[in-house]
Amino acid sequence: MIIGPVMSIKRFLLERIVSRLRMKGALHFLYAMEKVGHSSEVAFPMEMLPSGVKMHLRGFMNFHSIQINLDWIWPYWIVRQFDPKSRSFIPRAMNLTHVNQTHRNWTAVGAIGGKREPIVDPRGLVTPWFDGWSLDFWLYRNGRLIAPSRLGHVKQSLREALPIVITTFTEEGLRVRFEAWGDLIHGEEVLIEKIRIQNILNERADVKAYWSIRPYNPEGLSLIRRLQYHDEGLWEVNHAMAQVLQQKPDRVTCSDQRVGDVSIVLPDIELCRSLECEAGMATALSEYSFSLNPGEIKEYSTICTTKPVRYSQELMQVLQKVDTKKNKNENILKWKNILSRGMCISIPDSKIEECFEANKCFLHLFDDGDEITPGPLTYHRFWFRDAAFMIHALDKLGYGDAARQKLATYPGRQRVDGFFMSQNGEWDGNGEAIWTIWEHYRLYGDQELIRDVYPSLRRGIFWIKRKRRKTHKKTGPEQGLLPAGFSAEHLGPNDYFYWDDFWSLAGIRDGMEASRVLGEDKDHEVFKKIYMDFWQDLQRSLKMVENRIGKKTLPASPYRRMDAGAIGSISALYPLRLLKPDDEWIVNTVDYLRQHSFFEDGFFQNMIHSGVNPYLTAQIAQCYIYRRSREAWPLIDYLLKIATTTFTWPEAVHPLTGGGCMGDGHHGWAAAEMLLLIRNLLLFEEDDRIVLTPILPREWTWKGAVIQVEQAPTYFGPMDFRIEFHGGDVSLEIQERFRKAPACFEWNFPFEIQRAEGDAGPVEIRGNVLFLSSKTHKVQVKTAGVGKKP
């Protein structure tokens, strides 16, 4: 083989390897694939390789192991995905890796202030260790083994909208209730599960109940190579403390892959206290036998470690003595205390209110102290992109101290050259880091933080400037933009993504504001020039796109036609506010997405996800809210419709099964977006004013209805307000602790306003919008309509 001057060493080595494997024809596809997008300095971030390899190796293990063991009890997603009668069924012949593509749904629980979030699947299967083994609970009655994963009707909810997951079902005359929550006990984060079984028959019921340790979780197999039971009531998994049984079982057993699942021989049990399984598919079981009189209740409880812990008799004894009822009640009080410290709402829609409360809790669960992660399982790691929205949600909900703790670590996360890198090859991190820090300042006036991190912001801006030099000599629409890069936001093949440019431009703008606040006048002028040069190059690029497409729209990149990837470009409005809500570029882009990239009332991301994206649907709804458009409501209602009964969302939802098909089954970014969306339904800042109830629905205006918001941070300072509806008469009371007053309040109604009177001078009526002085504290309004109670 002759190496020509154009052929790279990489290509030469690749061709040598492929030639030896007699797969040379395959290279044509690889070379062609590079040309679908645009060449970039990083074809694929190496940081993603370990998780990607693990996912596919696990998928291959699933392929290798599940289909020859279909008589096992498997988790819900496998039961559904392998059942040819189910809508979730996926043929397997051409898929060498079997992964959960139809029911990626779970709910995080965990200790307040902890760093590990156990998960609960839709059938009550709990996974205590990160990406580890799981614990299931079964019953045996009337010759039938009852496993929740195989049942058609199982209900799940939260206890008082808190991270206490309740799973219930009724079978064979037994009403069964699981409760799972997390806590910190004796210095260890633990998962607590309590089971309640009630006989609802008019006759005596003989029952066998089982805890079973399982070698899988909602992602697939999770290897258990060794099991050991201790007489004190402890199971060890892979040489580590795993499950502490508070009630000593009548019998225990375990089994390996060659013998088969422990469930296969039930109710017969051959005692076995320990074993090793080279295939990593060991299973264990603890049995309780009892009889229940009519109406009688039996309860069992167990406590699991949330990470491998060396055997400790002291810890085991402490866990066995925990009063789980008292512990749960104490947890409820602790969670309610946390909720009371942030923004609180009371609105005429109980479902939205409950969703808000639940996701406030979940946001705190995803808070791991110095960092925040967008999921308990698949996405349990830090990204600047996801953190931008999640930390912003902490800030806007009144948890500024928690947000600050993370932002203070940002200089330490920055490379020496100024790059805020989540993954090498994607260029949005600098803008996201700077924007998030500046938003914190706008909400809390935290000048000390800005001063501390300013050198880091400065390096970040100059990194953006240097990065743009790589396209300065080009003559196409990419001139002056950031280089082509990879998109973990799944906007398509490597390209010159406007998403990167909008975020970077916003970061420069906000860094410019930071320099002004700190009196860094020279930097301010330098940053202003960098900003203006970048903005001019971006406008030139967009004009070339307009000439090519024939319309003012924002595709994913200057070389793309309009497609679902354009979702990234609406960041120019939400959340960055680089463009106005009624800007033609934004309006046309949102209209295109609504017409061409929706399934029902949810945004359908055709790029990679191939599902309805809750967090992206929420972003489009925000664009409508900024326009005061009620077109946001079908999207909001749809988000509530596709939420799980515990108010969680996966990254993407399968359009047919309604289950998760992409990413983490409890998506932290989606939780943050829903919180920000509900907040902006009630109030948001625009330029120099505060907008109240921008798309107030008629259904919230019935006689006796009340809207109350307390402890809401704003760019001007914290405020509370209360709206009461008395037929056509409406009252508003405002209490504020502003650092600097806004120019005015803008209050929106679903009806025309007939008259209004405030306690701070004249008011201005424009149809169904009322403008009030920022000194206003009380207002009385007469409207032309009144809503009906749903």
The pLDDT of residue 490 is: 81
Asked whether residue 54 carries a pLDDT value surpassing 80, the answer given is yes
Answer yes or no: do 431 and 323 share one domain: no
What confidence category does residue 236 fall into, taking pLDDT thresholds of 50, 70 and 90?
Answer: very high
- The model's pLDDT over 401-457, given as tens digits with 9 standing for 90+, comes to 999 999 999 999 999 999 999 888 889 999 999 999 999 999 999 999 999 999 999
**Distance in angstroms (rounded) separating the CA atoms of residues 145 and 491:** 47
> For position 593, what pLDDT does the model report?
98
The number of folded domains in the chain is: 4
469 confidence band (pLDDT: 50, 70, 90): confident
Taking CA atoms, 719 is separated from 414, 735, 739, 760, in Å, by 35, 6, 11, 17
Asked if residue 578 belongs to a domain, the reply is yes
**pLDDT tops 70 at residue 31:** no
CA 765 to the chain's CA centroid: 40
423 and 544 within one domain = yes
Residue-level pLDDT at 56: 83
Average pLDDT over residues 131-141: 98
Per the CB < 8 A criterion, the answer to whether 769 and 691 are in contact is: no
ω before 575 within 30° of 0 (cis)?
Answer: yes
Q: How many helices (H) and strands (E) does the chain have?
A: 18, 35
Do 318 and 424 have their domain in common?
A: no
Domain membership of residue 629 (yes or no) is no
Nearest to 125 by CA among 115, 113, 116, 133: 133
CB 270 within 8 A of CB 253: yes
Domain assignment present for residue 597? The answer is no
pLDDT score of 354 more than 60: yes
**In this structure, is residue 236 part of a structural domain?**
yes
Q: How confident is the model at residue 474 (pLDDT cuts 50, 70, 90)?
A: confident
Region class of 131: left (phi > 0), else alpha (psi between -120 and 50), else beta? left
158: domain CATH number is 2.70.98.40
Residue 325, domain member (yes or no): yes
Domain of residue 519 covers 408-584
Find the helix or strand (DSSP H, E) in which 723 lies.
strand 719-726
Question: Is the predicted pLDDT of residue 1 greater than 50, yes or no?
Answer: no
DSSP 120-148: E-TTS-EE-STT--EEEEEEEETTEEE-G
Task: Inform me whether the pLDDT recorded for 641 exceeds 90.
Answer: yes
DSSP, residue by residue, 621-644? HHHHHHTT-TTHHHHHHHHHHHS-
pLDDT value at residue 755: 95
Same domain membership, residue 564 and residue 429: yes
Neighbours of 165 (CB within 10 A): 27
What is the number of other CB atoms lying within 10 angstroms of the CB of residue 566?
A: 25
- Give the pLDDT of residue 39: 67
pLDDT of residue 40: 66
Q: Kindly give the pairing relationship between strand 283-292 and strand 251-255.
A: antiparallel
- Please give the average per-residue pLDDT across 562-571, as a whole number: 97
**In a domain? residue 319:** yes
How far apart, in whole angstroms, are the C-alpha atoms of residue 719 and residue 709? 8
* Res. 2 pLDDT band, cuts 50 70 90: very low
Verdict on whether the full-model pTM lies above 0.85:
yes
Peptide bond preceding 75: is omega within 30 degrees of 0, i.e. cis?
Answer: no
pLDDT of 37: 67
Q: Is the pLDDT of residue 789 over 90?
A: no
Say yes or no: 179 and 292 in one domain: yes
Of the candidates 627, 625, 562, the one whose C-alpha atom is nearest the C-alpha of residue 595 is 562
* Domain final residue, candidates 560, 584, 608: 584
Residue 709, domain CATH: 2.60.420.10
What pLDDT is stored for residue 5 in this prediction?
44
Q: How far apart are CA 712 and CA 192, in angstroms?
A: 34
Give per-residue pLDDT as tens, 203-228.
Answer: 999 999 999 999 999 999 999 999 99
pLDDT tens digit string along 710-739?
A: 999 999 999 999 999 998 999 999 999 999
Could you tell me if 420 and 550 lie in one domain?
yes
Q: Which residues pair with 166 in a beta bridge?
A: 157, 179
- Closest Cα to residue 776, out of 762, 765, 760? 760
Name residues whose C-beta falls within 8 Å of residue 4's C-beta, 6 or more positions apart in sequence: none
162 domain-assigned: yes
Q: To the nearest whole percent, how much of the chain has pLDDT over 90?
A: 87
pLDDT of residue 14: 66
**Residue 53 pLDDT level (bands cut at 50, 70, 90):** confident
* Residue 732 is assigned to a structural domain of this protein: yes
d(CA 192, CA 184) in angstroms, rounded, equals 10
Task: Indicate the residue among 299, 331, 363 that finishes a domain.
Answer: 331
Q: Helices 26-36 & 9-20, crossing angle to 10 degrees?
A: 150
Q: What is the mean pLDDT of the chain?
A: 95
pLDDT band at 6 (very low <50, low <70, confident <90, very high): very low
Q: Which residues pair with 721 in a beta bridge?
A: 709, 734
Same domain, 146 and 272: yes
DSSP 523: H
> Cα 610 to chain center, whole Å?
17
| Chain centroid to CA 37 | 29
% residues pLDDT > 70 (the chain) = 95
Q: How confident is the model at residue 761 (pLDDT cuts 50, 70, 90)?
A: confident
Q: Which residues contact 178 (CB under 8 A, 6 or more apart)?
A: 124, 137, 165, 166, 167, 168, 193, 194, 195
| 21 shares a domain with 122 | no
Does 286 lie in the same domain as 156? yes
